[in-house]
Each structure stands twice: as structure tokens, then as C-alpha cells.
Amino acid sequence: MFIEEQKRHALTISPETLAYIIIHIGESFLYPHLSDGIEPDLDRAMKAVRSLLR
């Protein structure tokens, strides 16, 4: 069962690309367009990253 779980979670992109995506998700929620009235939201960033890593 452990091997099946590993196969299901195998990366289809490089770790560098995954890191780049995670950083930009974080930045987009931490440094939003304040001129549009959007406040930083770390919880939403964390939820987005968790969803990506499932």
C-alpha cells in the first residue's frame, strides 16, 4: 500500500518548478493589490498550497 501511495504522489514537475509555484502563491496572497482593497490572507495561501500538494 505504501508504494501505491508513493506512486500517486509522484511529482510530474521538477521540485524547482513546484517551489517557484508555491512561492508565487504565497506572494500573491501576502502582497495583494492593496489599491483594490484586498487584504493579505495567509490562511488562504496555506489552503492553496495544501491543495496543490495533495
pLDDT tens for each residue of the chain, 54 residues long: 556 655 666 668 888 999 999 999 999 888 877 677 778 888 999 999 999 888
Question: Residues near 38 by Cβ (< 8 Å), separated by ≥ 6?
Answer: 32
User: Hey, what amino acid is at 14?
Assistant: S
Q: Is residue 16 in a domain?
A: yes
The SS3 assignment for 40 reads coil
Which domain, by its residues, includes 18?
12-53
Number of domains in the chain: 1
pTM of the model: 0.68
Continuous H helices in 1-54: 2-8, 15-30, 42-53
Whether the CB-CB separation of 29 and 42 falls below 8 Å is answered with: yes
Q: What angle do CA 47, 54, 33 make, to 5 degrees?
A: 30
Q: Is residue 26 in a domain?
A: yes
